[in-house]
Amino acid sequence: MCDAGADKRLLIVPALFDEANRMRRLSVEVMRRLERAGIDSFLVDMPGTNESLQRLETQGCEDWRDAIGAAARHFGTAHVLGIRGGCLFTPTDLTRWHYAPAKGPAILRQMIRARILASREAGTEETSDGLMKIGQAEGIELVGYGLGADFIEAFQSLKPAADAAIHQIGQDTIGGSGLWLRAEPGESREQADALAAVLAIGLQA
């Protein structure tokens, strides 16, 4: 977090799961730039990930939504930036920016596909439908993330809100190609500059 007691305060809901690693550097670089613009920002860990003391397996989508709402109240943030899958959990009572929002089913599909690939390399055959059924019935481990059945059930139909009040930030505004695509986590000074500029101008308005 960058907390200097500023009036302008932004909560950041990170990209989810594997994408969180690839977007971490950009997120932090944006926070540094916002600090120089006099804006405090707070990058949260989703419950059950990183430094969270919770177990991921016991989390549901509602728990995540509640936790983000609690973080917004705790830090006194009136504004929130969602990044990729993080846009699925931005509180509706805050002024929202959504950067390259991702859909729950698309995120799940990619994780399932990664598991199929890894299993196949190890000589085990699995299918998307089969894994999805297991996930909905008893929860499932996907690329190192143990997800509960309740989470899978809710997450598979989650789509980012499309309210007109949300400030949408597309990759065409930021320039270059999305860093979440990178096989190896990367960084881009230009993209951090662009995203920070969009937010700084928006928060000053």
Where does this chain bind other proteins (CB under 8 A)?
18, 106, 109-111, 113-118, 120-121, 127-128, 143, 177-178, 180-184, 186
Least distance in Å: CB of 26 to other proteins? 13
3-state secondary structure of 73: helix
CA–centroid distance for 85 within its chain: 4
* Whole-angstrom distance, CA of residue 164 vs CA of residue 167: 8
Q: Between 36 and 120, name the residue whose CB sits nearer to other proteins.
A: 120
Q: Considering beta carbons, is residue 167 or 182 the nearer one to other proteins?
A: 182
What's the closest the beta carbon of residue 129 comes to other proteins, in angstroms?
A: 8
Nearer residue to other proteins within complex by CB, 60 or 178: 178
Return the residue matching tokens 């997800």: 147
Which residue number, 2 or 195, has a Cβ lying nearer to other proteins? 195
H or E segment and range at residue 35: helix 18-36
CB of 3 to other proteins, least distance (A): 32
Q: Are 135 and 116 in contact (CB under 8 A)?
A: no
Closest distance of CB 99 from other proteins, Å: 17
Q: Give the 3-state DSSP-derived string for 75-91, with helices as H, strands as E and coil as C.
A: HCCCEEEEEHHHHHHCC
- Tokens representing 186? 């990367």
Cβ-count burial of 141 within 10 angstroms (0-12 exposed, 13-18 middle, 19+ buried)? middle
Nearest residue (CB) to other proteins, 79 versus 115: 115
Residue 23 Cβ vs other proteins, minimum distance, rounded to whole Å: 13
Q: In the complex with other proteins, which residue's Cβ is closer, 69 or 146?
A: 146
Is residue 188 within 8 Å of 119, Cβ to Cβ?
no
Question: Which residues touch 110 (CB under 8 Å, ≥6 apart)?
Answer: none
Give min distance, CB of 25 to other proteins, in A.
Answer: 12
